Structure 1
Amino acid sequence: MPIRLPALPADSRAPFPDPRTALREPDGLLAMGGDLSPTRLLNAYASGVFPWYSEGQPLLWWSPDPRTVFRIDAVRLSSRFRRTLRRSDWVVTADTAFAQVIDACARQPRPGQPGTWITADMQAAYGELHRLGHAHSIEVRNGTELVGGLYGVAIGRMFFGESMVSLASGGSKVALAALARRLHEWGWPLLDAQVANPHLLTLGASLWPRERFLDEVRELTGKPTSPGLWSSRFGELPACELTRQTSLPD
C-alpha cells in the first residue's frame, strides 16, 4: 500500500502536523513538500521536526520516536582517548568555517549510504541560516588544517545537531565534547542528535520518548536568546583541556 503523507502548504509559516501522527514505519516520517526557507526550518526545529531526504526524493520531514538526545553533562570521551588528547595541539573554534564543515560532512562516506542527504540545496539553506545567526559550526584544527567538526541549529537554549565529521581520527569526538563544554558553561542542557547509531551511544547519547523530547523542546526553544555568530563567544578551546572530564564514569 502506498504511503500517504500530509503535504505542507506553500506558506512557510504554516504549522507542521502533530509529530505524534508520524508513521511508525519508516519511523518518524511526518510530512512532505514545502521548502527549506529559514522560516520553515526554524519552525520545524522548534516543533521537534527536521528535514531528511536524498537527491531525487521529495522534501521529507521527520520526528522519530524514540529521539536520540545528549544531556550536555553526559557527553563522554573514553579514558584512552582523553589520554591521547593530553598531547594534542588541536584547537576548537566556532563559526569560522561553516561552509567548509558542512561540505566535509556532505563528502564523508557513511556505511550503508551510497550518497548524502546534505545536498546542494541543503547546504545553501543551512548556509543562509548560518548567515542569519541560527546555524553554527564547530571546527577542530591542527594548525590551519581542519581535522573535524560538526554543525547544527540553535534556537533558544536548545542545540539541534545535524551532522559531524572526522577528517583525522577522533576529530568529531573532540568537536562534540568541546561543544558540550561550552553549552554546559552557557546553561544549555540538551543537544538533539536525531537518530541513534552505535557511535553516538558510546559517546553518551540516550533514547528519549518523543513526547518527553517535545516537552523539553517547547520549553528550551522558548528561552530568550539572540541569534548571531558564536566566534567570539565560543573562543578558542584547546583540545587538551577536554581531558578534564568529570561528568560520567567510563
Structure 2
Amino acid sequence: MPAEPPPTIWEFPPPERFHPDDDLVATGADLEPGTVLAAYRRGLFPMPVGGRRAPMAWFSPVRRGVLRPRGLHVSRSLARSRRRFEIRLDTACAEVIDACADPRRPSGWIDGRIRAAYLRLHALGWVHSVETWRAGRLVGGLYGVAIGGLFAGESMFHHETDASKVALLGLVEVLDDGGRDRLVDTQWLTPHLASLGATETSREEYLALLPGLLEAPPQASWPAGLA
C-alpha cells in the first residue's frame, strides 16, 4: 500500500467556485506530496505556467479526457507491436519522467519542480511508470498517479514506433483486473488519444465519478513504494 504523506496546509477552491469556461481553477500552493494528492482527489492537477518564478497553476478541465480500460482500441498492428516489446513497471520512473520532459519536445511543461514532486510521490508508492523495453533499452513509457481505481496519466514518450501505445496497453492490462471500476484520466482529449479509444466527459461528470474511483481498492500489480 502507498504511504500517506502529511496533509496539505493549503485549501483548494470547491467546484462551485470554478469558472464554468476556464480550465485553470487555482494558482499558488506548493508541490508537497500531501498537496498534490489533495489536488488529484479534488479533480485538479498541477502544471507550470509562466516560468519558474510564477506560482504553480492548477487545472480541472471543463472537458476532460478519459479512457475506460476496456475501451482501448487495440488494432492488429498494435497487437503485433505488443509482442516486440517487454513491458516493465516502476523500474525506471525517473528515466521515463526525464524522457517526457525532453526540452526538444513541443509544448514541454515538465520542469525540475514537477520532476522532484512526482519522484517523491513515486517513492511513497503513488506515482508509477509503465515502460516499454527492447533489447535492454528503454524505448517508451508513461507515468501517472494511481489512487484507488483512478490512474491520472501525466505524460508519455516513445523512441520507437508504437512504444508509447504499447505502454498504454500495458497500463490497461494492469488496470483491467476483474471488472472493477477503473478510469484513466488523460487530462485533455487529443486526436491521438481519441484514436486509441479515449473519450471526453464534462467536468461535472468527472467530479461525480471521482468518489467511487477513489474508494476502489488499488491494483495489486503495482510495485510497493520505496518509503
**TM-score bracket, shorter-length normalisation:** 0.7 to 0.9
Cα distance in 2 for residues equivalent to 1:153 and 1:180: 14
Aligned to 2:196: 203
Aligned to 2:122: 130
Give 1:224 deviation, angstroms: 4.2
Cα distance in 2 for residues equivalent to 1:92 and 1:98: 13
Q: Superposed, which structure 2 residues align to 1:25-44 within 5 Å?
A: 27-44=22-39
For residues 179-202 of structure 1, the C-alpha deviation after alignment (integer angstroms, 9 at most, x for no partner) is 111100263521000012111111
Give 1:211 deviation, angstroms: 1.1
Aligned to 2:98: 103
* AA of the residue aligned to 1:126: Y
In 2, are the aligned partners of 1:158 and 1:190 still within 8 Å (CA)? yes
In 2, are the aligned partners of 1:133 and 1:229 still within 8 Å (CA)? no
Cα distance in 1 for residues equivalent to 2:100 and 2:221: 20
Q: Superposed, which structure 2 residues align to 1:151-230 within 5 Å?
A: 151-185=143-177, 187-225=180-218, 230=222
Cα distance in 1 for residues equivalent to 2:221 and 2:175: 14
Aligned to 1:51: 46
In 2, are the aligned partners of 1:77 and 1:173 still within 8 Å (CA)? no
Q: 1:181/1:211 Cα in 2 relative to 1: closer, same or farther (>3 Å)?
A: same
For residues 181-240 of structure 1, the C-alpha deviation after alignment (integer angstroms, 9 at most, x for no partner) is 1100263521000012111111111000111111111211123449x98248xxxxxxxx
Aligned to 2:134: 142
* AA of the residue aligned to 2:62: D
Aligned to 1:19: 15
* AA of the residue aligned to 1:124: A
Cα distance in 1 for residues equivalent to 2:194 and 2:16: 24
Give 1:143 deviation, angstroms: 2.4
Q: Tell me the secondary structure at the aligned position of residue 164 of structure 1.
A: strand
Aligned to 1:5: none
Q: Give the unaligned 5+ runs of structure 1.
A: 1-10, 233-250
For residues 155-181 of structure 1, the C-alpha deviation after alignment (integer angstroms, 9 at most, x for no partner) is 112111000111111111000011111
TM-score (norm: length of structure 2): 0.87
Cα distance in 1 for residues equivalent to 2:152 and 2:212: 14
In 2, are the aligned partners of 1:108 and 1:165 still within 8 Å (CA)? no
Q: Give the unaligned 5+ runs of structure 2.
A: 1-6
* AA of the residue aligned to 2:76: S
Q: 1:43/1:211 Cα in 2 relative to 1: closer, same or farther (>3 Å)?
A: same
RMSD (Å) for aligned C-alpha atoms: 2.2
Q: How many residues align?
A: 215
* AA of the residue aligned to 2:102: R
Cα distance in 2 for residues equivalent to 1:184 and 1:109: 34
TM-score (norm: length of structure 1): 0.79
Q: Which has the larger radius of gyration?
A: 1
Q: Tell me the secondary structure at the aligned position of residue 215 of structure 2.
A: coil
In 1, are the aligned partners of 2:81 and 2:166 still within 8 Å (CA)? no
Aligned to 2:4: none
Cα distance in 2 for residues equivalent to 1:16 and 1:229: 31
Give 1:12 deviation, angstroms: 2.4
